[in-house]
A = this chain, B = another copy of it.
Amino acid sequence: MGVRIQDVAARAGVSTATVSRALRNLPNVSGATRRRVLEVAEELDYVVAPVASRLASGRTNSIAVVAPYIGTWFFGEVLTGIERVLHREGLDLLLFAVPDERSQEDFFTRMPLRRRVDAVIILTLGLSADQQDSLRGLGVPIASVGDPLADTFSVGIDNEGAAQTATHHLINLGHTRIAMIGGGSSFAGRFTAPRQRQRGFRQAMADSGLPVPIEYDVDGEYTVRGGSSAMAELLSLPTPPTAVFAQSDEMAAGAMQTMRRMGVRVPDDISIVGFDDHELAEVLDLTTMAQPVAQRGEIAVRAVLQALADGRSQTAPGRELVHTRLVVRSSTAFETAREKR
C-alpha cells in the first residue's frame, strides 16, 4: 500500500536517487547495487507511484485516443491495435469519445487533454481549423488515423483509389447501372472518407462513360440499418441498379438483407461490393475492399512513440498509406450472365 521509495532506499542502504535510477535501468548504477535494490523492491512489493513520478518528471506516460465512436467494428479494431502496442510500452491509454458534432465542439474547446497526456491519436475525425489549432496547442505529438493533419503524421488509405477499384470491378463485370450507398451529408465535415469514396466512385463511372443518376447515390449512414433502407430505396426505383458499391461492409450487409427480403438474388440479380473486410464479409461472401484496420492503429502509435523517444513535440509530418486490396467473393458476378428482368 504505502511503501515509498525512501523505504526501499533505507532498507537497501542507498539513497532514493540510486533506487530511482536502479529501478529505471539508468546507467551509472553498479551491478551489485542494482541487484540489491531490485531485491529489496521486490521484497517490499514496491511499485513507483505514477502520479509522483509524473509530477517530478513532467511526463504523464499516457496517451489519449479520441474517436467518434467506440462501439463500432472499425474503431474497435483500431483501438485493439493501439492498446496492444501501448501497454507493451507501459503507457496508459486514455479513451475519449465524441459521438456527435456538439460533443466534438465541446471537447475541443474545453480540451480536457491539457496537461494530461504526452501524445494524442485522433481517429477519423475531420477537424475544423480551430480544432486543429486547439489540438496543436497541446504541444504534444499527434497522429491521425484517417485524415491528414497539417504538420503531423497520419496513416490512411487511398479512399478514392480504393473506391475506384471497387467500382471498376463492377464495371469490368459488365455492369452499367451501378449505384452507391454512402455516408450522406449528415456526416459533413466530421468525416471525409464518405466523400472521397464517392469521388472515386464517380470518377470510375465517368472514366467509363457511365452515368450516375442522382437517385443512384443514396445515404446508408454507415450502419447496417441505414444500408438496409438505402437498398430498399434503390429497389423501389423504376430502374433499379444491377450493381451496388457500398462504402462499408456494414451497409453492404444491410443491403444484402433487404435484397434477400425482397427476393432479389445476390449476385444473380444484383452484385454488391463492400468496404473494410469486416468479419461479416467473409461470412456473407461479400466482395469487398480490404484494409488492415488494427494495423493502422499500430502504425499511428509507433509514430507518436517515436516522437516521444526522440524528445520531439511533434510527430514526423507525413502520411503513410496502407494497402487496400479487392477481395473477390461471390457477391459480385457478370452482368451479362444475368437474366434481364
A338 within 8 A of B: no
Residue ranges of A at the interface with B (Cβ–Cβ < 8 Å) = 1, 47-52, 54-55, 60, 62, 69-73, 75-77, 79-80, 83-84, 87, 90, 92-97, 111-112, 114-116, 139, 223-225, 228, 253-254, 257, 260-261, 279-280, 282-285, 294
**A49 cross-chain contacts in B, Cβ below 8 A:** 55, 115
Task: Out of B47, B283, B294, name the residue touching A114 (CB < 8 Å).
Answer: B47
Are the CB atoms of A283 and B225 closer together than 8 Å?
yes
Q: Which of B51, B282, B283 contacts A54 (CB 8 A)?
A: B51
Whether A1 contacts B95 by the Cβ 8 Å rule is no
CB distance from A6 to the nearest CB of B (A): 15
Q: Tell me whether A224 and B283 are in contact in the complex, defined as CB-CB below 8 angstroms, given that A80-B71, A84-B97, A139-B1 are known contacts.
A: yes
Please name all residues of chain B whose beta carbon is closer than 8 Å to the beta carbon of A80 when the two chains form the complex.
Answer: 69-71, 97
Q: How far is the CB of A180 from chain B (nearest CB, A)?
A: 19
Can you give 6 contacting A-B residue pairs, CB < 8 Å? Answer: A47-B115, A55-B55, A70-B83, A73-B76, A228-B283, A253-B280
Chain B contacts for A76, CB-based, 8 A: 70-73, 75-76
A24 CB to closest chain B CB, in angstroms? 16
Which residues on the B side are within 8 Å of A282 (C-beta)? 224-225
| Residue of chain B at shortest CB distance from A79 | B70
| Cα distance, A146 to B148, chains bound together (Å) | 40
> How many protomers of this protein does the assembly include?
2
| A75 surroundings in chain B (CB, below 8 A) | 76
Q: Given that A76-B72, A116-B92 are known contacts, is A279 also in contact with B84, CB under 8 Å in the complex?
A: no
Separation in Å of the A68 CB from the closest CB of chain B?
A: 11
* Bound CA–CA A60/B50 (angstroms): 10
Would you list the 8 A-B pairs with minimal beta carbon distance, nearest first?
A71-B76, A71-B80, A51-B54, A257-B283, A49-B115, A51-B55, A224-B283, A93-B95
The reply to whether B97 and A94 form a contact with Cβ atoms under 8 Å apart is no
In chain B, what residue has the closest Cβ to A256? B283
Q: Is the CB of B79 within 8 A of A223?
A: no
* Cβ distance A250 to chain B, nearest Cβ, rounded Å: 8
Inter-chain pairs besides A71-B79, A92-B94, 12 sampled, C-beta below 8 Å: A50-B115, A51-B51, A51-B54, A51-B60, A62-B94, A71-B73, A71-B294, A87-B97, A93-B94, A95-B95, A225-B283, A261-B285
Query: Contacts of A95 on B, CB cut-off 8 Å?
Result: 79, 83, 93-95
Partner of A224, one of B77, B90, B279: B279
Q: Nearest Cβ distance between residue A248 and chain B, in whole angstroms?
A: 13
Nearest CB in chain B to that of A74: its residue: B71
CB pair A71 B60 closer than 8 Å: no
**Minimum C-beta distance from A202 to chain B (A):** 28
